[in-house]
Amino acid sequence: MKTRGFIYAIISAVLFGSAGIFVKEGYNSNFSPVDLLMLQYIIAGIILFLICVLKYKNSLKLNKTLFKKLFIQGAIFNTLMTVFFYSSFKYLTAAEATLLLYTYPSMVALYTSLFKKRRIGYNKIVSILFAFIGSILVLNLFNIELTKGIYQGIIFGILSAVFYSAMNIYAEEIVEDVNELVITFYTTMFSLIVLFIFNYKFIFKLPYVDYVSIKNALNLALFCEIIPLTLLYSAIKHIGPVSTSIISTLEIPSSAILGAIFLREILSPIQIIGILIVVLSIIYLKKS
């Protein structure tokens, strides 16, 4: 079962790593990243609802406790994580934004150790350390020109990591009681409701959405939300939030490689070394 959890976490990370491609190509001056996110949630919500009605109809009925937990997960943690993450793409490259999001494994480990009183093994600490070092190299931190826009992007990226860590930690309390696809459906819909409240003008943009935005929102819904998020919850169920979060750092090299291929973002030798270090840290964790 643990091997299955590792596989789920790896596939989830690689798919999440493709988000930067669709986000950067899917918005423009009249269609913001949050607009794109809402369009993605609408498409994902429809697809997930049809799947859940056909396969998990009985699981859609929730008691008050589970409803409250899923509301917190979707309306607060998932919404804030995705809004800050998508907004960071306006100021940072796909690799840079992804790096800041993936400082969250250390946050998950720290929280688990301090508040849940769980011992974090030596192998996990080493894996987190090397994954973080590799991530810094992928970011190529020392060659970034720090401008006002960069600072804003960094703040957004760190905030996305804070709420992503909360999302992973809180998911552990849900995955044992609810099917993963049902969790994804409810968190998506709760996030969409919150975004509609704060971005109601999006309704007036729908008639003018172009084909490119719809295509990218569909790709985001399938490959960067429904499939990877469901696999993420499955991985947390099998191997826990700490190991899952460490493996999820594979999104950084995935994002960098895909950004180089599809967005023509140039990878330097130091970034390639960083990618190898991240991958080796995951291999070390699995062997340990």
Torsion on CA atoms 253, 259, 264, 269, rounded to nearest 10: -10
Which pTM does this prediction carry? 0.79
Residue 239 in contact with residue 5, Cβ under 8 Å? yes
- What are the backbone angles phi and psi of residue 28, rounded to the nearest 5°? -145, -170
Q: Which residues form the domain of 69?
A: 2-287
The amino acid occupying position 216 is N
Number of domains the chain is built from: 1
Q: What does the alpha-carbon distance between residue 16 and residue 93 come to, in Å, rounded to a whole number?
A: 15
The single-letter DSSP state of residue 145 is -
pLDDT digits (tens, 9 = 90+) for 100-112: 787 788 888 888 8
Helix (H) or strand (E) holding 4: helix 2-16
Q: What is the mean pLDDT of residues 70-86?
A: 90
pLDDT digits (tens, 9 = 90+) for 10-58: 999 888 888 777 766 555 556 777 788 899 999 999 999 999 999 988 8
Q: What does the alpha-carbon distance between residue 174 and residue 178 come to, in Å, rounded to a whole number?
A: 6
From the list 103, 97, 88, 105, the residue with the least C-alpha distance to 139 is 97
Listed in sequence order, the residues at least 6 apart from 214 whose beta carbon sits closer than 8 Å to its beta carbon are 39
Residue 91 in contact with residue 156, Cβ under 8 Å? yes
Dihedral angle sign, alpha carbons of residues 56, 57, 58, 59: positive
pLDDT digits (tens, 9 = 90+) for 86-105: 788 778 776 677 777 877 88
Residue 65 in contact with residue 195, Cβ under 8 Å? no
Q: What is the mean pLDDT of residues 73-88?
A: 88
Residue-level pLDDT at 116: 77
pLDDT digits (tens, 9 = 90+) for 113-148: 877 777 777 888 888 888 888 877 876 666 655 555
Residue-level pLDDT at 35: 84
pLDDT digits (tens, 9 = 90+) for 219-235: 889 998 899 999 999 99
pLDDT at 266 exceeding the cut of 90: no
